[in-house]
Structure 1
Amino acid sequence: MEGTGFAWLLALLALAALVIYYYNRLVFNRARVAEAWSGIDVQLKRRASLIPALVECVRQYMHYEQDALQAVVQERQRAVQLADSPLGQRAPVEAHLGTQLRQLFALVEDYPALKADGQFLDLQRTLTDVENHIQMARRYYNGAVRELNVRVESVPSNLVARAFAFAPADYFSLDDPRDAQSPNMEF
């Protein structure tokens, strides 16, 4: 009888150790997703802060393209307003902002003097760098989401996830495949 009690105690301790292990892995993965989203957020804010300078620089040359400039300004304002919103609300707006930037840079092709302007070239390089960082941050975020979601959905960690209300995270996905591409800013 005494041996049975000891066996039960060992079994409970082993079960507790497994629960603690899986709980800690889930917490780690959830923190990694939050950190990855923070990386995307930093780059998106960096891009948003560059857009007013870009618009002003382009405005000096593109007197006839006010609609394109206004579209970029409006999308930036929407993106800034949603800065603290959940990913599901923010991602489509950010993707549309990328589309507007691509359209603006396509119009720049008709303005040789602008393409040679030093300030514009600096902004172009910086925005290209930011867009590349956003793309890398998206990949890192989606990898972190994948790891969390696998833990939340696979046995036996899913039992711990359910018990402690861990939920799968949303991937950073884009509705339009063209939005996955960085704006072409090479002139």
Structure 2
Amino acid sequence: MKKWIIIGVIVIAIIGLYSWASGIYNKAVTLEQDVKESWGNVNTAYQRRNDLIPNLVETVKGYAKHEQGTLTAVIEARAKATSVTIDPSNVTPEQLAAFNQAQSGVTSSLSRLLVSVEQYPNLKADASFMKLQDELASTENQILTARTRFNEAIKPYNNNINTFPRNILAGMYGLKQKPYFEAVAGAEKPAEVKF
């Protein structure tokens, strides 16, 4: 009888330990899926911006033929930004910084393009250009929202795998902390607009 009690206690302890460990892992997997979904939303927002850029460039091209250097810079920045890809399950701070840098190149070149547009009153009054400019502004807001939600998805994941005793099991499972989106260097300074 005593033998069966000891075996029962051992079995219950093993089942309890297994449930506890698998619960920690399953929670981390669920939170990581939230991170991947959020990263997909970030990519979708950036893709929308990249899809709008050729239309914007073509519209401006018709009015501002001698702004070719600015238009080329926008096209090159877009190409560079679309070449940087990240796997959200293995994202590193360096990869995120490279992605962020490539995207800031697009933002910078678009800003220069929109400033150069101020010289063309007919273009500013063109309905298709105004619609594209509004869509671009809306897309920039979507990018901000997606990046914010990505950071919001990262926090519970990082908290989950960094708290004791979960951090011990997370290390055994190979789970690593994920980086947050951060502002690009120099973003704290206001943009300088010259006409």
Task: Give the alignment's TM-score, normalised by structure 1.
Answer: 0.87
Measure the CA separation in 2 of the matches of 1:147 and 1:44: 24
Which of the residues 98, 108, 111 maps onto 2:120?
111
Aligned AA (1:158): N
- Residue 11 of structure 1 deviates from its aligned partner by 2.2
2:181 alignment partner in structure 1: 172
1:94 maps to 2:96: no
Mapped to 2, the partners of 1:132 and 1:34 lie a distance apart of 20
Q: Distance in 2 between matches of 1:115 and 1:31?
A: 43
Q: Which residue of 1 aligns with 2:34?
A: 32
1:133-164 deviation per Cα after TM superposition (whole angstroms, max 9, x unaligned): 11100001011111111112111221221111
Q: Structure 1 unaligned segments of length 5 or more: list them.
A: none
2-structure distance, mates of 1:120, 1:10: 69
1:75 and 1:44 mapped to 2: Cα distance?
13
| Structure 2 counterpart of 1:20, from 19, 22, 33 | 22
Tell me if 1:11 matches 2:13. Answer: yes
Among 59, 66, 83, the residue aligned to 1:64: 66
Work out whether residues 36 and 140 of structure 1, in 8 Å CA contact, stay in contact via their aligned partners in 2: yes
1:152 corresponds to: 161
Identical positions, percent: 29
Distance 2:152 2:187 in 1: 21
Instruction: Check the 8 A contact 2:100/2:184 in 1, yes or no.
Output: no
From 131, 140, 143, the counterpart of 2:152? 143
Structure 2 unaligned blocks of 5 or more: 88-94
Q: Give SS of 2:63's match.
A: coil
Moved over 6 A (4+): none
- 2:82 counterpart (74, 80, 83): 80
Q: CA deviation at 1:103?
A: 2.0
Q: How many residues align?
A: 182
Q: What is the RMSD of the two structures over their aligned residues, measured on CA atoms? A: 2.3
> TM-score scaled to structure 2, two decimals?
0.84
- 1:130 matched to which residue of 2? 139
Find the counterpart in structure 1 of residue 129 from structure 2.
120
Deviations 1:93-129 (A, max 9, x none): 0122112112221222222211110110110111111
